[in-house]
Amino acid sequence: MSSASFIQLIAACVGIVGALFFAIGVIRQTTEAMARLSGTYIGWNPHMRHALAVQKADYLLGGGLIFVAFVLQLVSFFVSGAPFISEERARFVPLLAALVTVVCFFILRVVAGRVAKHYEAQIFALLKQESEQNAAT
C-alpha cells in the first residue's frame, strides 16, 4: 500500500466520523424534542440549554473532523506513491482502519458529551446572571 493510499484511507475514516457527528445533531432532533424546545416557558426554556450545547459540541467536532479529512486528502496528493506498507500487511489495513474508526467514534462521543456539559454550564451561568440583573431592575 502506498503512502498516498494510506493517507486517503485515513482521510476517508476521519470523514466518516465527522459526517456522523453532523448527522447526530439532526437524528437527535426527535418530534418529542422539537415539541419540548418549541414550548412556552416563563423566563427561559429549560430544554433549550441542553439541546443547543449538545448541538454545538457535535457540530464543532464534526466540522473539525471533516476539515481534517479534506486536509489529509489534499496531503495525499503531495506524497510519493512509493510502498509504505508491505503487500502481506496491506490486506489487513482496511479492517484495522474500520476498527479504529469505530473505536475513535465512541471515544469522541464521550469527548462531545464533556464539551456539551461545558457549554451548558456557560449557558446556565449567563442565564442566571441575566435573571439576577432583571430581578435587580
Question: 98-118, pLDDT tens digit by residue?
Answer: 999 999 999 999 999 999 999
For the cut 80, the answer to whether the pLDDT of residue 26 exceeds it is no
pLDDT for res 117: 93
What's the CA gap between 107 and 86, in Å, rounded?
30
Which among 53, 57, 20, 15 is positioned nearest to 37, based on CA atoms?
A: 53
Residue 53: count of CB within 10 angstroms of its CB = 20
Q: Provide mean pLDDT across the span 118-124.
A: 89
* Whole-prediction pTM: 0.73
What is the average pLDDT score of the chain?
A: 85
Q: 32: exposed, middle or buried (C-beta count within 10 Å: 0-12, 13-18, 19+)?
A: exposed
